[in-house]
Structure 1
Amino acid sequence: MQPNPPQPGFPQYGQPPGGPAPWGGGPVLPTSRPRSRANAVAAVIAGVLALLAAGVLVWFTLYNVVVAAETNGNWSGITVQNMATGVISAVVLVVAAGFTFARKIPGAWTLFGLCVFYVVAVFVGAPLVWGTPFGAQVKWLFSFDDSDSTAMALTIFLAVLTAITSAIAASVKSYDTKTRL
């Protein structure tokens, strides 16, 4: 008994005619696509700038701790707010910098968003919360008359640079050619 001849348009099952390919062509395993990653150079620069900004925020926090200690335990509301936001901001920046160092695109965009938020918070948020006129806030920031205004001015400068480089790191993608197991 003869098998049915192959029908046109239907897939043929089994081995192709003539056996496997002479060059050892068995079934080909699909390879994963290269993963897009943040640009390496820009990610490192953004991470270093974020770590510097975190260090300056720690400086700002320590200054407020010293001010609180010198007032014999009279902790004003603004001093407590400065200490809490300084520590929280520094920790969050270090975490986002770590993800940016790892060349994660969402980490670089998060770092960008945090830095933009910090700049807006210092220029707009703090004057609104404490009722400070905008001109007085800007004058305090860039007067460099005491350590906390210097630290905040440096934080703003570093946050702007970090935001720019982290946006570049997230936008200019490179591709990881190694396959993951």
Structure 2
Amino acid sequence: MQPNPPQPGFPQYGQQPGWPGQVAPAKPRANAVASVIAGILALLAAAMLVWFALYNVFVAAEANGHWSGITMQNLVSGTIAAVVLVVAAGFTFARRIPGVWTLFGFCVFYVVAVFVGMPLVWGTPLSAQVKWLFSFDDGDSTAMALMIVFSVLAAVAAAIAAGVKSPGKQI
């Protein structure tokens, strides 16, 4: 006795959709090497954001526990940004193309936010912001400068990873 032939439209248990013998097309994935490099650089940028947030905790502790508005904003924004980068780095390590483009977008957003957004919000001249970022005199400016460097490099690697696609596994 032979089994029933597969019916078109509904796969039987253990079979892939389609006609018998047909292989489902593989989904393209991000380039493996560039994805790993982008993910590592994103994790380094996230570590710099954690450093920035912790520096603000120590600044508030030195000020007798007085939390100013800018200190609280730096703490919350640094922590949230670090978590978002870690999640996007995870999808980048998984070589998911939408995750890689998301990492690219967040990295570009963080660089633009530090260079343009913060001076606009706090009324700081752009020259003073750039001088603070790249003076490397305090821990917070060093952390932000390194975060910018790692974010730019991660964005470039993410764009390469998403642009140079590799075929996925054949199922």
Same fold (TM over 0.5): yes
- Aligned match of 1:74 in 66, 87, 92? 66
Structure 1 counterpart of 2:39, which letter? G
Q: Report the equivalent of 2:83.
A: 91
Q: Deviations over 1:31-65 (max 9, x none)?
A: 10011000000000000000111111111110000
- Aligned match of 2:159 in 167, 170, 176? 167
How far apart are the structure 1 equivalents of 2:169 and 2:73? Answer: 46
How far apart are the structure 1 equivalents of 2:168 and 2:26? Answer: 5
- 1:105 matched to 2:97: yes
Structure 2 counterpart of 1:62, which letter? L
Q: Report the equivalent of 1:45.
A: 37
Q: Report the equivalent of 1:121.
A: 113
Structure 1 counterpart of 2:36, which letter? V
Q: What is the root-mean-square deviation of aligned Cα atoms in Å?
A: 0.9
- 1:141 matched to 2:133: yes
- Aligned match of 1:131 in 123, 131, 135? 123
Say whether the 8 Å CA contact 2:101–2:158 is kept in structure 1.
Answer: yes
Deviation at 1:76, TM superposition (A): 1.0
Structure 2 residues not aligned, in runs of 5+: 1-18
How far apart are the structure 2 equivalents of 1:121 and 1:177? Answer: 38
Structure 1 residues not aligned, in runs of 5+: 1-26
Say whether the 8 Å CA contact 2:49–2:144 is kept in structure 1.
Answer: yes
Q: Deviations over 1:76-97 (max 9, x none)?
A: 1111110001000000000000
How far apart are the structure 1 equivalents of 2:130 and 2:84? Answer: 25
Say whether the 8 Å CA contact 2:110–2:151 is kept in structure 1.
Answer: yes
Larger Rg: 1
- 1:60 matched to 2:43: no
Deviation at 1:29, TM superposition (A): 2.9
How far apart are the structure 2 equivalents of 1:157 and 1:177? Answer: 34
Deviation at 1:168, TM superposition (A): 0.5
Structure 1 counterpart of 2:125, which letter? P
Structure 2 counterpart of 1:157, which letter? V
TM-score (norm 1): 0.83
Give the 3-state SS of the residue equivalent to 1:160 in structure 2.
helix
Deviation at 1:28, TM superposition (A): 3.2
Structure 2 counterpart of 1:167, which letter? A
- 1:30 matched to 2:58: no
Say whether the 8 Å CA contact 2:38–2:158 is kept in structure 1.
Answer: yes
Structure 1 counterpart of 2:90, which letter? G
Structure 1 counterpart of 2:37, which letter? I
Structure 2 counterpart of 1:110, which letter? T
